[in-house]
Amino acid sequence: MAELALIAALERSLGVRGDRIVRALGDDAAVVGARAVAVTSLDTAVEGVHFRLDTHTPGDIGHKALAAALSDLAAMGVCAGEAYLGLVLPEAVDDDDALALMRAADALAERTGTTIAGGDVVSGPALVVSVAVTGWADSPEEVVTRDGARPGDLVGVTGELGGSGAGLALLDGLDVRDLDAGARESLFQRHRRPQPRLGAGRALAAAGATSMIDLSDGIATDARHLAKCSGVSVALELDRLPLAAGVEAVARAAEQDPLALAATAGEDFELLLCAPPPRRERLERAAHALDCPLTWIGEIASGAGIELRGRSGAAASLAGFEHGTPQARKYRAAGRPGPDEHPQRRSADRVPPSEPGPA
Amino acid sequence: MAELALIAALERSLGVRGDRIVRALGDDAAVVGARAVAVTSLDTAVEGVHFRLDTHTPGDIGHKALAAALSDLAAMGVCAGEAYLGLVLPEAVDDDDALALMRAADALAERTGTTIAGGDVVSGPALVVSVAVTGWADSPEEVVTRDGARPGDLVGVTGELGGSGAGLALLDGLDVRDLDAGARESLFQRHRRPQPRLGAGRALAAAGATSMIDLSDGIATDARHLAKCSGVSVALELDRLPLAAGVEAVARAAEQDPLALAATAGEDFELLLCAPPPRRERLERAAHALDCPLTWIGEIASGAGIELRGRSGAAASLAGFEHGTPQARKYRAAGRPGPDEHPQRRSADRVPPSEPGPA
């Protein structure tokens, strides 16, 4: 396909949602009617670091890159607005692949009320997808940040954990016998097609969540970011972590503690939230109304860092993880290698060394 | 430098400008007080395509990536607001390089009133800098788009053309004897440290420009984009193109028509603007007040595409360029290779095959 034909096809694959778009695509920049507060994040997904072309379809890659960016808006409790996609295309990615990537991103944009309003396409040595997203709120008070947790707050988490990491282990060829086809497919989906919790993020913000963060790097890492920003300690009851179906079987096959896998493997894109105990029922009702599981897994205390309570094997495994694995945050450094680490494999870096649990 | 130390150092290198930033860096997303209209663009610069590590310092790369994005806001006639930088860092780019890149970007941000409010850092096989920028206006009517040109409008251009392309030719090793050190350095600067015309863009918008576009791909290509968006023809008087000092000498050494070089080499990041003749003096005063050269180089007619008037050699050269070189626009495809083109060299692709002019 010729250059302009590819661009025209990419543009045709995109829809406009809502009535705030004055001008999208085809100009130097997009023009959008604003609300009072803009909430913006930029995420970059790199071939060989965040995905591989032999385990992820172009559609998986487009979906996941946008989902990861929208998940940041979910954690702020705001509506998604516009997305801007920058594609670096290597020779191995042909025009049909580029279109499939963009169509999958736009399908997620459609489901989340997002408009892909601009971006660019350039050639390069590896597939890179940069996604900037802007969400909107009517006042700064509506926006939930990482620094609002206070001692005594309850700590909750949406959905289930470990599914993405277990799916990645399966993609990497881990042999797991006692896993039915449905659970296997579900784990693949959780890794390849994560769903940003935008509706839950808004509902939990409205119901009084005082602080939120999305779980992109694993709860052991992300809870520590929240603790640092809020100037508190996060105590987590490991036994209460809600595991996705199939995670135990995958962890057993990997000779790993399932709770450690769930707490560290990352990319679940669930929300960690904090709130004073009197708001508990209101938050539960808000989550229930959206069919979003909400599990209380700990509490905020004075101090710093995270405190892991529960099974000693998992806690020991995580204690090792705390000091041995690269951390990520905004300005987020994903997979920037330390001296002993392979530069190409961010995801694998996240799974701690296998360490059998006591059970 | 350890991971978190690099991130902390990057964050420390950034300043906050203006009073609209509620929260920058360190959270899932930045929170910014909005004005009525958001104008947003995303640009991606790739090692081996837009720059080379042996001819551009990390500071050049950070400056230029942000300058290219801000130039899109200049062409819309709006104030710069926030920038978000995504860095993909290969092993060849160490932490000091990353800091130098970010500091140069922030120095340009400081001069343009921009706040670098977020972004991410990941590892990867080549240096990639993605820059999302948001500018602000108080109403959609303030924003100048590509589709406002009407038959009878004058066509003007800011500054001088060809400097960036001539600088690139020098960086690529072209031997040019009759060029003094000052002119040589000036051409290098125009290629490595282009200055976005933000002030001129706002002033020309306020003085009644009906349509603008920034010259990222060369006036022969960018004028065609404007013609297509506006549904008109752009007639350019080649002899009136304002050439940067040194461009003639470089073109002579390359056995190329200097006007063809100036019209096609790209990355000058000047502004092409249109306006009805009665606004001519007002626009000239606006540009003069900013010490920004403004040259009238053509006019809008009914029809389509561009009409090149003037020296036959340059016109013939450009006619060949029209059909033989990849074009770029938003959704911009920069350097996406055609079947016969080298995938790595966007800039070189832009310079048409050498064709001696008649003079």
Give per-residue pLDDT as tens, A12-71.
Answer: 888 888 888 998 887 889 999 999 999 999 999 999 999 999 999 999 999 999 999 999
Give the residue-averaged pLDDT of B237-258: 94
Closest-CA residue of A relative to B95 is A336
- The count of other CB atoms within 10 Å of the CB of residue A81 is 27
pLDDT range class, residue A285, cuts 50, 70, 90: very high
Type of residue at B191: H
Mean pLDDT across the stretch A99-124?
95
- Residue A89: the pLDDT is 95
Rounded to whole angstroms, how far apart are CA atoms B258 and B314?
A: 8
Does the beta-carbon distance from B134 to A40 stay under 8 Å?
Answer: yes
pLDDT at position B4, please?
Answer: 67
Global pTM value: 0.89
Instruction: Answer for the pair A59, A192: CB distance below 8 angstroms, yes or no.
Output: no
Higher pLDDT, B352 or B285: B285
> What string of H, E and C letters represents the secondary structure of A279-330?
HHHHHHHHHHHCCCCEEEEEEEECCCEEEEECCHHHHHHHHHHHHHCCCCCC
pLDDT over 50 (residue B223): yes
Flag if B123 and A343 touch (Cβ within 8 Å). Answer: yes
Helical spans, DSSP H, in B115-197: 163-171, 181-192
Q: Say what the pLDDT of residue A3 is.
A: 63
Using CB atoms, which residue from A75, A124, A130 is nearest to B49?
A124
What's the pLDDT tens digit per position in B107-126? 999 999 999 999 999 999 99
Rounded mean pLDDT, B144-164: 96
pLDDT for res A319? 57
Interface contact flag, B75 A28, Cβ < 8 Å: yes
Nearest CA of chain A to the CA of B10: how many Å?
8
Pairing of strands A305-309, A233-237: parallel
Spatial distance between the Cα atoms of A74 and A199, rounded to a whole number of angstroms: 7
Amino acid identity, residue A280?
A: R
Q: What is the pLDDT of residue B24?
A: 85
Whether residue B37 and residue A32 make contact (CB cut-off 8 A), yes or no, is yes
Range A99-103, long-range pairs (CB < 8 A, 24+ positions): A99/A6, A99/A9, A99/A10, A99/A13, A100/A57, A100/A58, A100/A59, A100/A62, A101/A58, A101/A59, A101/A61, A101/A62, A101/A129, A102/A10, A102/A13, A102/A14, A102/A62, A103/A13, A103/A59, A103/A62
Strand partners, A115: A82
Q: What is the pLDDT of residue B184?
A: 95
Of B3, B29, B75, the CB nearest to A73: B29
